[in-house]
Chains A and B, each alone.
Chain A
Amino acid sequence: MTGVLVAIGIVVLGVAVSAWRGLGLEREVGIAAARATVQLTVVGTIVTLVFEHVGLAAGFVGVMLTAAAITSGRRLHGISSPAGRAGAAIALGAATGLEPLLASGAFELTPRELIPVAGILIGGAMAATSLTGRRLLETIEDGLPGIEARLALGAGALEALAPAARRAVTTGLIPALDQTKNVGLVTLPGTFVGLVLGGADPAEAARIQLTVLLALLGVEVVAAAACAALVTRACVRPGERVEPSGG
């Protein structure tokens, strides 16, 4: 509890700095901190229950996936079924990582291992989906003359959109790539820190972190590619036309 109180003190310091420098972030930082406190308290209680009742674990993963789909879908406004498309990309990406990890025995199919690993993978897939999808829609809006130049030269709609999709996927994967390249040098990721703080051997913690980190990279690539494919198709109209929104 002391740690939480100290952390709250650090947030208060941040709020004070914001007020002192006139950044106007006091309210937003306060709300974010309050939300995190409430959500983690609730989640901690729920996860304790879920850990004791195996049947609830799958439902909890479903709730995580739904929340991720809704959050990412908000970034894709303007296309048809944004949450559905985001959810499909996130689910495909997360499943790509989760299934082999569970099937190989790297993690056990128990609530205690399933929920944290699924949470990390769904969270990573969500971030890649949001970034890729948003960037893709912006690129299509801004680059419509170039896309229509390709259409006018006889390209199909998907072919004309392919350069925008490639750029968006590259942008969407920057955080995952940077995090993977700089792990241990610039950042100590959460899994490693959590395990070490929990008393695990640092070498064992590093092994588990590496497993999660590499899986996460693959998951994000799949989610970003799936998101780009689903968003580009949402912008294609009959007659090989492209409309970035209004679908």
Chain B
Amino acid sequence: MPPDGPILAARGLRAERAGKAVLDGVDLDVPAGAVTALMGPSGSGKTSLLRCLVRLDEPVAGRVTFEGEDFRSLDACLLRRRVALVAQSPAMLPGDVRANLAYGLDIPQEDELHQALAAAGLPAELLDRDAARLSGGETARVAVARALTRSPRVLLLDEPTASLDGRAAAGIEALTVCLAARGLAVLVVTHDEAQSRRIASRAVRLLRGKVKEEGELAIVGGAR
């Protein structure tokens, strides 16, 4: 990987559902230490793109590289720990928040769990709460904290504030900016132009499975 190259990149990515293209030759760069907004109307392929980037869906053509390596040459489990996807409506696993954060970790350390919660702006007391009884905002943050316990290099957030009230949404926005400032590459799906301007420095706009615009946010936003 070149020193300043994107940590995650896609070239010519094509994916199909029921024989119909949902992504059609998508090129994408996700640089470290920045928030990239992924925008576009419903059905433009945003969620499909995120799923392809972590191989939850398999692209039929094109290439994805993580740290310069083709993602098919990497162990899919390891890839998903390094490139963490937080779904639009994250499913909490049965049990308490601790069980969610510790899921799949060899020897979960209590301080690691505390750090992940703190990074997501949540108090340590939340660890013993039943994950099924969290509010929408808490669920969104716990889902981010759960992803952070894998020490990812890239965070893919699919409309993280879609079902949240203004205060909870502001918290997630601040968290997103904070994580990028700590060196993570963050790709956020959003419909909200104002939100993208608040949190992102770059933007990619999809339309019918193709990249319509990509670049610095001011340019992409101004081109509309």
Find out whether the CB atom of B91 lies under 8 angstroms from the CB atom of A148: yes
Give the residues from 14 to 72 in chain A that come closer than 8 angstroms, CB to CB, to chain B: none
Chain A contacts of B81 at CB under 8 A? Answer: 153-154
Residues of B within 8 A of A240 (CB): 55, 76-77, 80
Cβ-defined contact, A239 with B55, below 8 A: yes
Partner of B91, one of A145, A155, A156: A145
Q: Are the C-beta atoms of A153 and B76 separated by less than 8 Å?
A: no
**Given A145-B89, A146-B91, A239-B76, A153 and B58 touching (CB < 8 A)?**
no
Closest CB of chain B to A153's CB: distance in Å? 5
Verify B90–A156 contact, CB threshold 8 A: no
Task: State in angstroms the CA–CA spacing of A238 and B55 once bound together.
Answer: 9
A77 at the A/B interface (Cβ < 8 Å)? Answer: no
A146 contacts B93, CB within 8 Å?
yes
Select one of B55, B80, B89 contacting A153, CB under 8 A.
Answer: B80
The CA-CA distance from A22 to B9 in the complex, in Å, is 64
**Chain A interface residue number, banded:** 10 to 19
A150-B103 contact in complex given A145-B87, A240-B76, A240-B77, C-beta closer than 8 Å? yes
Partner of A241 from B58, B89, B93, B104 at Cβ < 8 Å? B58
Tell me the B79-101 residues at the A interface (CB within 8 Å). 80-81, 84-87, 89-94
B78 contacts partner chain A, Cβ-Cβ < 8 Å: yes
Residues from chain B with Cβ under 8 Å of A156 in the complex:
77
Point out the residues of chain B lying under 8 angstroms from A151, CB to CB: 56, 80
Asked whether any CB of chain B lies closer than 8 Å to the CB of A4, the reply is no
Mark contacts of B49-88 with chain A using CB atoms, 8 A cut-off: 1 yes-contact digit, 0 otherwise: 0000011111000000000000010001110110011110
Is B77 a contact partner of A154 (Cβ separation < 8 A)? yes
Min C-beta distance of B159 to chain A, whole Å: 14
Q: What chain B residues lie within 8 Å of A237 (beta carbons)? A: 58
What chain A residues lie within 8 Å of B72 (beta carbons)?
239
Contacts of A159 in B (CB 8 A): 104
Whether B56 pairs with A153 at a CB distance below 8 angstroms is no
- Say yes or no for B153: interface residue by CB 8 A criterion: no
A66 to chain B: closest CB distance in Å?
34
Q: In whole angstroms, how far apart are the Cα atoms of A97 and B176 in the complex?
A: 58
Asked, given contacts A153-B147, A154-B150, A240-B76, whether A148 binds B56 with beta carbons under 8 Å apart, the answer is yes
Tell me, yes or no, whether A152 is within 8 Å of chain B by CB: yes
A139-163 to B contact mask, C-beta < 8 Å, 1/0: 0000001101111111110010001
A155-B104 contact given A146-B91, A149-B90, CB 8 Å threshold? yes
CB distance from A151 to the nearest CB of B (A): 6
CB distance from B107 to the nearest CB of A (A): 15
Task: Report Cα–Cα, A148/B57, bound state, in Å.
Answer: 11
Q: Which residues of the partner chain A approach B150 to less than 8 Å between Cβ atoms?
A: 153-154
CA distance A60 to B38 in the complex (A): 63
Give the 9 A-B CB pairs with smallest separation, nearest first. Answer: A154-B81, A240-B76, A145-B91, A149-B91, A146-B91, A239-B55, A239-B76, A152-B85, A154-B77
Return 11 A-B CB contacts under 8 Å, by A number: A150-B104, A151-B56, A152-B56, A152-B87, A153-B80, A153-B84, A154-B77, A154-B78, A154-B150, A155-B77, A241-B55
Residues in chain B within 8 A of chain A (CB atoms):
54-58, 72, 76-78, 80-81, 84-87, 89-94, 103-104, 146-147, 150
